[in-house]
């Protein structure tokens, strides 16, 4: 389809439902309103991911415009697009230097961190920890990195933020018009929305010797619609141009192939993942294969004298 109408419909649902919850639900049942807004903000995040991959139209400017109002406030569309497309270099998946979405740390950098922060990162590698701490750690790290990039004049950052701020202002104006306190929107909508998305991102990738073995399959879940079927993540990484609603059929057609390709990195559902890793870290914080300890320079070796001189 030149226009992928299922995606357009979900964009209308996300924005329309968010506005309806703010205007009509909030005055009557505020906590239900906030819950609905959080779910729709999480859906909007998934739709943003869909749009940056060239959906639902063939016009990238229109795709950007369709999701330009940032319901989760923090991440400019163009910055998310730049970092996420860099993440799609599968040969570099999980590399803490080359994969912007890696949760691993290089060993020498981890060793230099305060002990308390290393403990926080260890908790962040549990599923509950990722849901509670992940949104805060992710936002703080992202904003600090963006501030450094803006200070040094990194390419594309200023334009991304200039384009982000008008949409951010409109969302905040709507929140003010709803009568929702800004702090409450952050705590009860943005944080839970990012926590929901973190269920998907928690185990999307692991270290494996083959690039294909680094990406997960979660076969079935009631959350699949919220994640736009990115629970079948190996299929998305192999076919990033495929719209979200085609991923289940692509998986079902070659189920054995996909499970063999990713080395059996398969969960039946997110409940199985939760039972295994709710309070137990799934991965080490340090990258399992990257060994980049600073080493002292090798002492210079004495020159080897030519045979003729030694004989003399």
Distances (CA, A) of 200 to 92, 130, 232: 20, 11, 10
The verdict on residue 306 lying in a domain is no
DSSP code at position 266: E
User: In this structure, are residues 59 and 252 in contact, taking their beta carbons and an 8 Å threshold?
Assistant: no
- Are 110 and 291 a contacting pair, CB within 8 Å? no
- pTM value is 0.90
Q: Tell me the three-class secondary structure of 172-235, residue by residue.
A: HHHHHHHCCCHHHHHHHHHHHHHHHHHHHHCCCECCCCCHHHHECEECCCCCCCCCCCCCCHHH
In a domain, 104, yes or no: yes
CB 230 within 8 A of CB 200: yes
Q: Is 174 among the domain residues?
A: yes
* Per-residue pLDDT at 289: 87
Q: In this predicted model, what pLDDT tens digit does every residue of 66-100 receive, in sequence order?
A: 999 999 999 999 999 999 999 999 999 999 999 99
Domain total in the chain: 1
Tens-place pLDDT, residues 156-200 = 999 999 999 999 999 999 999 999 999 999 999 999 999 999 999
* Domain assignment of residue 312, yes or no: no
Using DSSP, state whether 56 is helix, strand or coil.
Answer: coil
Q: Does the pLDDT value for residue 236 go beyond 60?
A: yes
Residue 296 confidence (pLDDT) above 80 = no
Q: Give residues with Cβ within 8 angstroms of 95, minimum separation 6.
A: 102, 104, 287, 290
CA 29, chain centre distance (Å): 31
Residue 311 lies in a domain: no
Residue 186, domain member (yes or no): yes
The verdict on residue 310 lying in a domain is no
């Amino acid at each position: 389809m030149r226009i992928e109408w299922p995606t357009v419909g979900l964009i209308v649902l996300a924005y329309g439902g968010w506005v309806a919850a703010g205007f009509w639900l909030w005055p009557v049942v505020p906590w239900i309103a906030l819950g609905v807004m959080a779910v729709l903000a999480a859906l909007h995040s998934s739709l943003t991911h869909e749009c940056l991959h060239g959906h639902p139209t063939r016009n990238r400017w229109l795709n950007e415009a369709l999701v330009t109002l940032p319901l989760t406030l923090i991440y400019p569309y163009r910055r998310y697009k730049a970092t996420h497309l860099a993440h799609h270099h599968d040969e570099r998946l999980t590399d803490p230097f080359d994969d912007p979405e890696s949760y691993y740390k290089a060993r020498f950098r981890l060793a230099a961190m305060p002990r308390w922060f290393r403990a926080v990162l260890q908790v962040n590698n549990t599923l509950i920890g990722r849901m509670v701490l992940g949104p805060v750690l992710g936002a703080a790290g992202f904003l600090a990195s963006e501030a450094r990039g803006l200070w040094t004049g990194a390419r594309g950052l200023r334009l991304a933020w200039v384009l982000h701020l008008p949409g951010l202002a409109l969302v905040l104006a709507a929140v003010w018009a709803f009568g929702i306190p800004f702090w409450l929107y952050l705590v009860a909508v943005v944080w839970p929305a990012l926590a929901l998305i973190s269920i998907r991102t928690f185990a999307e990738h692991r270290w494996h010797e083959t690039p294909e073995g680094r990406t997960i399959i979660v076969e079935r879940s009631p959350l699949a619609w919220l994640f736009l079927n990115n629970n079948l993540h190996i299929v998305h990484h192999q076919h990033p141009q495929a719209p979200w609603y085609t991923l289940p059929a692509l998986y079902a057609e070659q189920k054995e192939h996909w499970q063999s390709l990713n080395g059996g990195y398969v969960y039946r559902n997110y409940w199985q993942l939760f039972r295994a890793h709710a309070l137990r870290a799934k991965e080490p914080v340090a990258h399992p294969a990257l060994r980049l300890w600073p080493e002292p320079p090798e002492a210079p070796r004495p020159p080897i004298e030519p045979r003729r001189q030694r004989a003399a």
